[in-house]
Structure 1
Amino acid sequence: MRALPILALVVSPLVANPAWAVLQGVPSRDPDGLRRSVVSIESSTGELCSGVVIGVDVVLTAAHCMTDRAAYRVTALNRAFKPQRFNVTALAAHPTFVPGTTPRTQPGIDLAVVKLDRPLGVDFLPLDPRQAGRIDVGDQVTIAGFGVLSEKARSTARTLRHTRLVSLGPVQVANRVQIVADGSKLAETTGAGACRGDSGGPILAESSDGYQLYGITSWSSGALRTRTRSACGGLTAVTPLADHLGWIASSMRSLDAANGVWTGGQPPSSSRR
């Protein structure tokens, strides 16, 4: 594979932003598929991210999605793909996360666990982070999220889409992330990948038994060879979960014990959308 030249260019001045939809992704229409485990997260300021269900009332996402002084709402899709809305009552951001930085310059771990105001229900399937595997170079992965089809097509957000990418390996930028990209483009020209709205969405391995959770989307970049500056369609940076399972488990316990107390990041405002 041509992974090494691409990874060497990750640290060059590419346009890179929070991964805000799955570029060139296909809508998820299987009622027993990804809609059971992937949700959207929207703030009262209008910012959109994605997340993955890891408990009956717990969602894992990117910490940078939860830094605004705002109220947050999670939207999940039932079997008929009708939105079911839940308020976020508490969160725990990874203790190394540094607010005020961009995801690409973030020196800490871009992960947050959020607690919902009530259980999601039997219609939804939590993915167990304790089974998180490690992504090797060349592994095929699936990304999913609720973002846009292109940066200029904001009206295409809030539809669950997914696509297949290939792992190019780990890289140290400000923190250590796993890089995935379109297997046919390898980020040299615009291809499939994360875009606006996908931050916090899951990176998954697909099998006949379902999906295994690998990591969380943090940021994305444009293609290496393009005349148009973009933050979509090139490299997708993933926070792998295998090294953070202890923190995720302890945070879930803490949020249960907090019983609705805001435990990390900015406190929610009293307003609700």
Structure 2
Amino acid sequence: MYRSTSAVLAGLLLAFAAPAFAAPESREAPRIIGGEDAQTGQYPFMVSIQRLSMGDSDHGRHWCGATLISPSWVLTASHCVQGDRPADLAVLGGVTTLSSDPAARASNVKAIHVHPAYNSGNSLEHDVALIQLSAPLADAQPVTLRLRPDASYLKPGRDFTVIGWGDIDISEDRRYPTRLQTVQVPFVPFAECQQAYGGELSRGKVICAGREGMDSCQGDSGGPLLLKLREGWTQFGVVSWGEGCALAGYPGVYARIAEKHAVDFIEAVWQKD
């Protein structure tokens, strides 16, 4: 299942029937499991996609994660925004803690661009999307995208960082933190990941990472899979989907940014302000 809060909304509306966006029933949307509170300002590029119809506070409206890639552009997952209009959403940046206090928020989204080859079926290929903001975010500190070949970093023993405001309770209860969470997840080779997911995975298009007790989860969709390199925080993937959350043998699946079709899409659409 997608790792967005779509499943939560669908459950409220349909008494736990099929989740929004018709996600496969066997999948569970990701959340940060086994992590810890992020430090204030530690990830200045992290933003919250707010669904304006969902609540009266920033915490209640949180829908998906995303990253600021330039002052007016945000990268997220296609399944987070497919079918949405700009007026449906707002992008909130510059915060580590999502306020629970009631406060109105207006849309600041100018345009939504879903990857044209995004497959909303079982494979979820090309699960990347771009959001253009109506005005640059103040004091923007964008993340670096890995748009060059990345194979040298995808090796056993490599630990990536995942962040988000998603569910932190591994039980069937849902517990969404106000504070941004961060966790280290080990890289999982494609062959091993394919043993878990079979034909649903497309070689070269995804990165798998995570282990029992440490994973992304519901509410974390669209957020980044990161490494701290010499040039700073660098994003290699986008939180996409997984079987359950932090289950043994079922790592999280991330859309791979350096994959050719993802690079072509980003470079064709992104106007680097």
TM-score normalized by the length of structure 1: 0.70
CA contact (8 A) 1:52 1:127 kept: no
Gaps of 5+ in 1: 1-12, 226-232, 257-273
Note closer, same or farther for the CA distance 1:162–1:107 as it changes in structure 2 (3 Å cut).
closer
Quote the Cα distance in structure 2 between the aligned partners of 1:121 and 1:180. Answer: 33
Task: Name 2:14's counterpart in structure 1.
Answer: none
Quote the Cα distance in structure 2 between the aligned partners of 1:209 and 1:85. Answer: 34
Q: Deviations over 1:212-270 (max 9, x none)?
A: 11111101223556xxxxxxx952101111122222011113x98xxxxxxxxxxxxxx
Q: Which amino acid aligns with 1:130?
A: L
Quote the Cα distance in structure 2 between the aligned partners of 1:142 and 1:157. Answer: 18
Quote the Cα distance in structure 1 between the aligned partners of 2:173 and 2:106. Answer: 24
Equivalence map 1:74-113=2 (5 Å): 74-78=91-95, 87-99=108-120, 101=121, 105-113=122-130
Identity of aligned residues (%): 23
CA contact (8 A) 1:113 1:248 kept: yes
Q: Deviations over 1:21-59 (max 9, x none)?
A: 21121111142x21x011111223437110111111111
Q: Confirm or deny that 1:240 pairs with 2:256.
A: yes
Equivalence map 1:45-56=2 (5 Å): 45-46=53-54, 48-56=63-71
CA contact (8 A) 1:157 1:197 kept: no
Q: Deviations over 1:110-162 (max 9, x none)?
A: 00010112111225334244367344231211111111212655452443111
Identify the structure with the greater strand proportion.
1
Quote the Cα distance in structure 1 between the aligned partners of 2:47 and 2:135. Answer: 15
Task: Name 1:24's counterpart in structure 2.
Answer: 34
Q: Confirm or deny that 1:181 pairs with 2:201.
A: no
Task: Name 2:144's counterpart in structure 1.
Answer: 127
CA contact (8 A) 2:239 2:255 kept: yes
Quote the Cα distance in structure 1 between the aligned partners of 2:267 and 2:242. Answer: 27
Q: Confirm or deny that 1:250 pairs with 2:268.
A: yes
Q: Secondary structure at the match of 1:65?
A: helix
Q: Secondary structure at the match of 2:241?
A: strand
Q: Confirm or deny that 1:166 pairs with 2:186.
A: yes
Q: Which amino acid aligns with 1:66?
A: V
CA contact (8 A) 2:45 2:140 kept: no
Quote the Cα distance in structure 2 between the aligned partners of 1:48 and 1:64. Answer: 11
Q: Which amino acid aligns with 1:246?
A: D
Q: Confirm or deny that 1:220 pairs with 2:242.
A: yes
Pairing partner for 2:155 from 115, 132, 137: 137
Note closer, same or farther for the CA distance 1:26–1:107 as it changes in structure 2 (3 Å cut).
closer
CA contact (8 A) 1:61 1:200 kept: yes
Note closer, same or farther for the CA distance 1:147–1:73 as it changes in structure 2 (3 Å cut).
same
Q: Deviations over 1:94-122 (max 9, x none)?
A: 111134x3xxx135310001011211122
Task: Name 2:76's counterpart in structure 1.
Answer: 61
Q: Which amino acid aligns with 1:239?
A: A
Q: Secondary structure at the match of 2:218?
A: coil
CA contact (8 A) 1:140 1:165 kept: yes
RMSD of aligned C-alpha atoms? 3.0
CA contact (8 A) 2:77 2:128 kept: yes
Task: Name 2:4's counterpart in structure 1.
Answer: none
Quote the Cα distance in structure 2 between the aligned partners of 1:73 and 1:206. Answer: 28
Quote the Cα distance in structure 2 between the aligned partners of 1:133 and 1:85. Answer: 38
Q: Confirm or deny that 1:115 pairs with 2:132.
A: yes
Aligned length: 221
Quote the Cα distance in structure 2 between the aligned partners of 1:60 and 1:132. Answer: 19
Q: Which amino acid aligns with 2:209?
A: V
